[in-house]
């Protein structure tokens, strides 16, 4: 039996396993309790008695005749060993004069009962904590959460966009907690907080049932209601992959890219199957999409998989032996679907690929650099994607590139202040917003003409989203969500305006 202490109120419980809820304060979270008594103390190893080394025994040595002495005649034995020859007399050294020293003045004895002055104590050494850089607010700034960036040693890059539900409430995972926000009088108002106790590398997702899903770094899948309570106990689904994100279908099933490979299914009540729904050694380190009960998702071996979600076991309907869905390099980007049902993915081999629903490659375009984000589509089917160009010994460069939806050739390139890992977002007025690693947020039109830029002084790697009319949101590398004023009233109604397509980010088409 172990003793656990609540990190929120200090209440202690004795349980065989770690509890998730505190009866004293009502908090529920993984990692809420810490062990304060883990059992008996470990045994102290016995020390071996020290061994005393014996002094070495000197061996007798034969006498060495003086230098120049004649050898003994034949038949006469050598002289027995004798005492060592007398040492030469030491030469007396001149006496050194001792330097004159000043007499030490001792303090006079104080009379009894006189006060004793305390000795001055040395000031304790204080180690300076790394401070957060001062926030830079552009002209378009409206609000940020938190108001000021956390210290540098306590923050992690916020590389995902927040999710928004049908009521307009914003959900962001930051500082190891899920926070529900609403804008009030031009500022962020915290509605509730749900303590996770672990970072969330993937994006936050609002499912078809209205509940929020989070795949945390400790391997648990959390499902939280819009009121900030647990919908069901966290499911142990394993460690998350870096680019993956939960998918939620129309029946509220959650699909997870397993760390060991394949896909794991969690039903609407939080129950898991004994075996993965789709078994594979290939890791799906990508945020997939669900279209007509088929999950389209990229893998580490360069193939796009098309896995059916119906039935007790998933099957890949694309024939990889016939090179269907093959790109030649690993895939981390989230796919998009065009109006004519073409699956578009960005490969790490600096090419964009288009595949039909049968898995046959329809087109392929060479890009001028690496694509670390995902593509988006406007209402005309044109593709927009960020580019990162780095060369040894040179400063990194970035581009936003537009690819024609008909000819599949590059239409234009827009230069940024740094590499572009951010996934763009397209507004209903056809303005494209994205960030770069130089700390600049850009607004350009569909012809590549700049509209405005905003300097935030820290890298912007997250995908963008429009959380409300005239409100543009990005995550920053100092784990801050920043909201800027924009001209767009919402997401573009046609095409694929953002990663995950909609504000809920569930990946459901």
Mean pLDDT by runs of 10 across the 509 residues of the chain is 82 75 77 66 43 47 46 49 49 54 53 55 57 80 94 90 97 96 96 95 95 96 97 96 95 96 96 92 95 96 95 94 93 96 96 97 97 97 96 89 97 97 98 97 98 96 97 97 98 96 92
Long-range CB pairs of 147-154 (<8 Å, 24+ gap) are 147/188, 149/458, 149/476, 149/478, 149/479, 149/480, 150/175, 150/478, 150/479, 150/480, 152/478, 153/129
Q: What is the pLDDT of residue 48?
A: 44
Task: Write the CA distances from 7 to 1, 22, 85, integer angstroms.
Answer: 19, 10, 83
Residue with tokens 């073409």: 342
pLDDT (0 to 100) of residue 18: 72
Element (H, E) at 205: strand 205-206
Q: What is the pLDDT of residue 105?
A: 56
Q: How far apart are CA 127 and CA 183, in angstroms?
A: 38
Q: Does residue 508 contact residue 453 with C-beta atoms inside 8 Å?
A: no
> CA torsion sign, 489 to 491 to 495 to 497?
positive
pLDDT at position 392 is: 83
Tell me phi and psi for residue 321, to 5 degrees.
Answer: -65, -20
Looking at residue 50, its pLDDT comes to 46
Please give the angle made by the CA atoms of 498, 262 and 502, to the nearest 5 degrees.
15
| Residue 270 to residue 266: CA distance in whole angstroms | 6
CA distance 286 to 244: 4
| Predicted TM-score (pTM) of this structure | 0.75
Residue 95: per-residue pLDDT: 55
Query: What Å distances lie between residue 431 and 130, 193, 279, 371, 444, CA to CA?
Result: 38, 33, 42, 21, 6
Query: For residues 199 and 154, what is the distance between their CA atoms, to the nearest angstrom?
Result: 11
Note the pLDDT of residue 41.
Answer: 42
């Amino acid at each position: 039996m172990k003793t656990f202490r609540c990190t929120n109120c200090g209440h202690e419980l004795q349980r065989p396993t770690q509890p998730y809820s505190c009866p004293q304060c009502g908090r529920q979270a993984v990692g809420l309790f810490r062990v304060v008594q883990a059992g008996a103390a470990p045994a102290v190893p016995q020390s071996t008695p020290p061994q005393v080394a014996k002094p070495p025994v000197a061996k007798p040595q034969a006498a060495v005749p003086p230098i120049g002495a004649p050898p003994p005649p034949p038949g006469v034995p050598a002289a027995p060993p004798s005492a060592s020859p007398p040492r030469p007399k030491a030469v007396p050294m001149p006496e050194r004069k001792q330097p004159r020293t000043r007499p030490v003045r001792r303090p006079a004895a104080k009379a009894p009962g006189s006060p004793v002055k305390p000795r001055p104590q040395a000031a304790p050494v204080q180690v300076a904590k790394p401070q957060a850089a001062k926030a830079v607010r552009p002209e378009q700034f409206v609000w940020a959460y938190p108001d000021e960036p956390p210290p540098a040693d306590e923050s992690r890059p916020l590389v995902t966009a927040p999710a928004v539900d049908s009521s307009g409430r914003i959900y962001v995972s930051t500082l190891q907690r899920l926070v529900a926000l609403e804008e009030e009088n031009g500022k962020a108002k915290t509605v509730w907080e749900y303590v996770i106790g672990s970072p969330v590398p993937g994006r936050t997702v609002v499912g078809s049932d209205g509940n929020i899903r989070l795949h945390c770094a400790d391997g648990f899948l959390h499902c939280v209601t819009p009121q900030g309570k647990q919908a069901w106990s966290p499911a142990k689904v394993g460690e998350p992959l870096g680019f993956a994100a939960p998918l939620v279908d129309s029946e509220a099933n959650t699909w997870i890219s397993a760390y060991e490979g394949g896909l794991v299914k969690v039903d609407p009540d939080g129950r898991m199957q004994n075996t993965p729904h789709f078994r594979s050694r290939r890791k799906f380190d990508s945020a997939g999409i669900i279209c007509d009960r088929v999950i389209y998702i990229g893998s580490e071996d360069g193939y796009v998989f098309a896995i059916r979600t119906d039935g007790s076991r998933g099957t890949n309907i694309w024939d990889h032996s016939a090179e269907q869905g093959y790109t030649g390099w690993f895939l981390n980007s989230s796919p998009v679907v065009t109006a004519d049902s073409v699956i578009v993915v960005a490969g790490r081999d600096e090419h964009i690929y288009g595949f039909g629903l049968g898995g046959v490659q329809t087109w392929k375009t060479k890009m001028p650099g690496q694509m670390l984000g995902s593509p988006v589509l406007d209402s005309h089917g044109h593709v927009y994607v960020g580019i990162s160009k780095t060369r040894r010994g040179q400063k990194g460069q970035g581009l936003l590139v537009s690819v024609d939806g008909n000819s599949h050739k590059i239409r234009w390139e827009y230069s940024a202040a740094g590499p572009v890992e951010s996934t763009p977002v397209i507004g209903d007025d056809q303005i494209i917003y994205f960030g770069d690693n130089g700390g600049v947020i850009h607004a350009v039109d569909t012809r590549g003409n700049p509209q405005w830029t905003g300097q935030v002084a820290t890298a912007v790697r997250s995908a963008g989203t429009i959380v409300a009319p005239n409100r543009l949101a990005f995550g920053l590398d100092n784990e801050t969500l920043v909201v800027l004023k924009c001209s767009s009233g919402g997401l573009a109604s046609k095409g694929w305006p953002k990663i995950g397509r909609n504000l809920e980010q569930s990946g459901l088409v």
